[in-house]
Structure 1
Amino acid sequence: MYQRILVPTDGSPVSESAVDAAIDFAQARGSTIVALGVAVPEPTFQSLEGAMAYDPGLQVEVLLEHAQTHVDAIAKRAQQAGVSCTPVTCSALDPAEAIVDTARQQHCDLIVMGSHGRRGLSRLLAGSVTQAVLANAPVPVMVLRPVAHEDGSQARQHTRPAGAT
């Protein structure tokens, strides 16, 4: 049913767990994966004196190199599991918008991503890339969240679906 699965990653343990799940899911269904790394430049406030030396293009370049290295590693992991993977990187101020746009551009029919599992006030204050993707995605979204252990830590390799749209 799902032929091209988009799996965005920021390198966090939660997103890495979603990558593992997406590879397993794709392997079981004969699907391919599109691994997406989004370079999100951090706003930098500098004094007028320091602003002359700051090069935002250099920051984006470094972030893109890091994202490329990361998605290339995911492609290698997928290949080892017998799953075809297309590594994609882009630069964007809004990662959710980049994820939605990439799903369209790459003709993906499912997005698999992790959620940090914030609840209540912290969820409202922090905002959520996952929530924005859920609201705007042109395809179903499978959201995986980490399983918490009794000691409060979160498992990297054990996730459970948080829901799909």
Structure 2
Amino acid sequence: MTTTLSATEITKQLLVVLHECLHGADESGAFLDPGDDGLFSLLAGLSAEEASRPVAGFSVATHAYHLATSFDVFLDWITGKRDIAPDWDESWSRSETDDEEWAALRHRLEQRGAALEAAVAEHVPVDAQSAWGAAGLLAHTAFHLGALRVKFDLLRP
């Protein structure tokens, strides 16, 4: 017997994995070990000075600024605003931050993360282009989480 999943069920599972990427794994994870940090707690574990230090290429701050831009772009796409032309070069241009900017950037990412989770829940079950954008959001964010975990380990041996 073949079972076809509903768009709502697929969206729920996508949201579980997105939540893991942003907030970390609980008892079990799709790709993180239980207890591993997600994006937000990983970033919160670094000072502005550490985040500004280039390690293995770009600094953590550079990745965070890029992610902030990408979260805005994905939010627009998922909610139906698709006539966007982001400046990706600009999103990679900042490499340093101070304590105040670092706290504000982390807060912005958390706010956008919550907005993205809500947008995925609302739009993905009813719009294929939103689902495409949500899949891209998850892949893109998971990629950067992996890169940031490597940088974190190098900054905090």
Instruction: Specify the TM-score bucket, using the shorter chain as the normaliser.
Output: under 0.3
Identify, as 1 or 2, the structure richer in helix: 2
Identify, as 1 or 2, the structure richer in strand: 1
